[in-house]
Amino acid sequence: MLSDSDKQQLDTDGFLALPGFLSPQALHQFRTKVAELFALEGDNAGGEFRQEPGTQRLANCVNKGEIFERVIATPEILECMAHVLGPEFKLSSVNVRSANPHSACGQPLHADSGAIPDARGYWVCNSVWMLDDFTPDNGSLRVAPGSHRWGRLPQPGEVAPDERLVTGKAGTVVVMNAHMWHGGTDNHTDVPRCAMHVYYTRRDKPQQQYQKQLLSPEVQARATPQVRWLLALDDAENDRLSVQSGVSGFLR
């Protein structure tokens, strides 16, 4: 389903925007579920993994509703993941991040998991699902195109040449090679800006959130064979990697 130009953009720039990927109905369902979880978890929201000043966060979302179980197996997104990571990959985590109104919640440029490509190539790839419009003023994603090919992490305070702001309408999904330097920006508006992050890693690396330990027996029991594979529920090597990395639920 990926065109040659899509593949070239992922290879060259490190990211690909898919406007209108979520239908209005699907967008409403995600917004409703996320709002329910924020209300339910209150001040504890995101506390299992990471809380961040100026934001609301959710973690371990696969365990918090079937809508998240389904989203991890979206065919078009999996095709993008396979293009970046190769055929052997797995889910790393599903999180939500909402930039609060009038918040200085900008992030330094970074690569996810502090990852640098290794001898086998790329090993982290993320997808950012815009649940609200991303505008120049509300905390949109900034990226350094091509930085996934530089083979290093940004230094503290480093400014990348040709940095770009990624904006778009709610329902857009941005797939990005997560070695590409990127970060959220400050929200200067009166309303929050929310996005879901569906994050994958190569199969020989540990998950950010160790799904086998985190998911309830009910969620694991109803998982399809494809979803079980994506979650690495039956993968002894994934268990070994998690123990080796000291992951007892979450890898910070």
Q: Tens digits of per-residue pLDDT, 1-10?
A: 899 999 999 9
pTM of the complete model = 0.96
Statement: residue 248 has pLDDT above 90: no
Q: What percent of the chain has pLDDT over 70?
A: 97
Triad 146, 168, 87: Cα angle to 5°: 50
Annotated domain spans of the chain: 4-244
- Look at residue 246 in the predicted model and tell me its pLDDT: 64
Residue 22 pLDDT: 98
pLDDT score, position 244: 83
Q: How confident is the model at residue 247 (pLDDT cuts 50, 70, 90)?
A: low
Q: 44-94: per-residue pLDDT in tens?
A: 999 989 999 999 999 999 999 999 999 999 999 999 999 999 999 999 999
Q: Does domain 4-244 have CATH number 2.60.120.620?
A: yes
Predicted confidence (pLDDT) at residue 251 exceeds the cutoff of 50: no
Average pLDDT over residues 100-112: 97
Mean model confidence pLDDT for the chain: 96
Cα 146 to chain centroid distance, Å, stands at 19
The helices-and-strands tally (H runs, E runs) of the chain is: 8, 9
Cα separation, 59 vs 131, whole angstroms = 16
pLDDT at 93: 97
- Mean pLDDT over residues 194-215, rounded? 97
Res. 101: pLDDT tops 90? yes
CB 110 within 8 A of CB 153: yes
* Radius of gyration of the chain, Cα coordinates, nearest whole angstrom: 17
Please choose, from the candidates 60, 80, 82, the residue with its C-alpha nearest in 3D space to the C-alpha of residue 69. 60
Mean pLDDT across the stretch 168-177?
98
From its phi and psi, is residue 240 left (phi > 0), alpha (psi between -120 and 50) or beta? alpha
